[in-house]
Amino acid sequence: MDVTAIAGPYDTPVELSLVVPLFNEEESVGPLIARIIEGMSAYTGRWNLVLVDDGSTDATLLRAREAISRPDLEAVVVELQRNFGQTAAMQAGIDAADGRLIATLDGDLQNDPADIPRMAAELEARDLDLLVGWRKNRKDGLFLRKVPSWCANKLIGRITGVKLHDYGCSLKLYRSSVIKQVKLLGEMHRFIPAWVAAVVPSSRIGEMAVNHSARAYGTSKYGISRTFRVILDLLSVLFFMRYRARPGHFFGSLGLGIGAISLLILFFLAVEKYGFGEDIGTRPLLIIGVMLFLSSVQLITTGILSEMIARTYFQNKDTGSYTVRQVFRRAE
């Protein structure tokens, strides 16, 4: 990963880093930077901008590099070797960010940077670790974007227990110490609040209504097909949130449930054969009962193996089964 940064003497640490993943947004980069500088004028702390080029094939990288020469902007450009996707680009930006707070937003001008100073004040006032933007008046298509998003938000909130109106809004504000504990893989950016809830209580995750604009340049990188990927990713989120430290309970519960069904079937067939003298050798139910029993044994065995793997993982010196937020001691 190639990182180019603007250098200069600063007496204060960075309070806020803005992370913006970019992919083929050459027309948006210039107006975006202008809007960021204008919107952040209300922020009194030191802030910087992290632009991540996710393997763009147009002039996006060139436009981003031009930003670091501006005297009124402290910027970092992260160039990825190829297109890795929004989640990987967001992770690269978070890794490069050095602010105490980290804000993420899209590079398509649909998020309003002027909301960020207000979000920073709101996060501090409510003592939150994550503040999620809520596109209350979303400027997107009804059936292709709003309706699927509404359904997904309801489903995600119900399954994960993190009740938010808008999981998909890229405009989010984090405490750096918290988001850097979460490693984003695959397409996890859709479920960041749920992954953060695995690190901090859901009570420390909030939301705030933010502005939203229609796309001014280019075309959306998303379509209706992402709905199916969301369902698959949601299953992964559910597993890791509830069973990461005890995967044996997940596989074991399934195995015991299936095993109970198989035993009932086999008991019924045994009564039929030995109690009533019925022939059960050609019954499909016998095959089903045996297959369910074998599946039960496999699931329970998988649970035992996964428990062994989990214990090995948490015994690693760099990984623990808990994280400490703060330690308070009585003054001597």
Q: What pLDDT sits at residue 103?
A: 97
Q: What pLDDT sits at residue 213?
A: 82
Those residues with Cβ within 8 angstroms of residue 96's Cβ, 6 or more apart along the chain or in another chain: 3, 19, 50, 52, 76, 78
Q: What pLDDT sits at residue 219?
A: 61
Running along the chain, 332 residues long, what does each successive block of 10 average in pLDDT?
51 91 92 94 94 93 86 91 90 93 92 96 96 84 64 74 84 95 80 86 93 71 59 75 82 94 96 90 92 96 89 64 53 50
Can you spell out the DSSP letters for 62-122? HHHHHHTT-TT--EEEEE-SS---HHHHHHHHHHH---SEEEE--SSS-B-TTHHHHHHHH
Q: What pLDDT sits at residue 319?
A: 54
How big is the chain, counted in residues?
Answer: 332
Q: What pLDDT sits at residue 7?
A: 46
Alpha carbons 214 and 172: distance in angstroms, whole number: 18
Q: What pLDDT sits at residue 153?
A: 73
Residue carrying structure tokens 């998003």: 149
Alpha carbons 104 and 99: distance in angstroms, whole number: 12
Strand partners, 145: none
Q: What pLDDT sits at residue 114?
A: 95
